[in-house]
Amino acid sequence: MSDPGPEAFLADPQNPALNSATMLRIGDDKRGDRLAWNTFRTLALWETDVWVPRLLDIGLGDPNPLSGLEWSGSSVQLWATGLDLDSGTDILVDGPEGLIGAVATIDQAPQSGDVRDAMTKIVSDAALGGRRAGFLAVVPTREDEGQLQALLEQAASGDEFDALTGAVGWVTWHELGEVALDLAEEEEDSLRAEQVALLVDQLQARYPDIDL
């Protein structure tokens, strides 16, 4: 039997979030749902207060208004916003003091409509619980930072998005892979390390120029 290759890796395959609808998204090679699922389910093997502040420091810069919040016990969910995004994958990191929304894409940048819809949802949901809101785009590279910055600024324009001031940014798939590798190196755990290795293989299969 031939090796299915790193593209076939699927983390946490018994998770109830993997239903018929989400599996269709995961099976679509033109979307980033499989990569997003595997990346964030791998990160979620560690306590969120260990890696979420690191992710925010990368995406928003240090200092920022979110990294110092309490992130212990946060949930990490995909496809939980209720939004039907055209090409991006929606991700929620739902914590006691903050709510981070992300749109992940394998395209050079997320679609502006996807970003605007996700920001609107995050600001609204965070306000209901009296929490801080944040938004991250997950993209392949930082080569077109100016274009991405302009897209995010345009999407967050308007008084209704004041809650996102200083809390909008982006990270790359490469940077997410580095966070996972750092976590695996800091705590010896063969099962976690094996999953990180599978994730790294998948990232490098999708983006051969990634050096991890």
DSSP characters over 64-128: -SSTTS--TT-EEEES-S----SS-EEEEEE-SSEEEEEEE-SSSS--HHHHHHHHHHHHHHHHH
Residue 162 confidence (pLDDT): 97
Is there a contact between 32 and 104 (Cβ–Cβ < 8 Å)?
yes
108 vs 133: CA distance, rounded Å: 24
Percent of the chain with pLDDT over 70: 98
Per residue in 5-63, pLDDT (tens digit) is 677 899 999 999 999 999 999 999 999 999 999 999 999 999 999 999 999 999 999 99
Average pLDDT (104-127) is 97
Could you state, in order of their start, the residue ranges of all structural domains in the chain? Answer: 6-206
Would residue 202 be called left, alpha or beta, if left means φ above 0 and alpha means ψ between -120 and 50 degrees? alpha
Instruction: Kindly give the pairing relationship between strand 132-139 and strand 98-104.
Output: parallel
pLDDT range class, residue 89, cuts 50, 70, 90? very high
Instruction: Assess whether pLDDT exceeds 80 at residue 1.
Output: no
From residue 38, give the alpha-carbon distance in Å to each of 60, 99, 209: 23, 21, 19
Mean pLDDT of 169-185: 97
The answer, yes or no, to whether residue 65 has pLDDT greater than 90, is yes
What pLDDT shows up at residue 7? Answer: 75
Q: How confident is the model at residue 98 (pLDDT cuts 50, 70, 90)?
A: very high
Residue 136 is classified by DSSP as E
The predicted structure's pLDDT at residue 212:
87
- pLDDT tens readout for residues 123-162: 999 999 899 999 999 999 998 899 999 999 999 999 999 9
Tell me the one-letter amino acid at 9. F
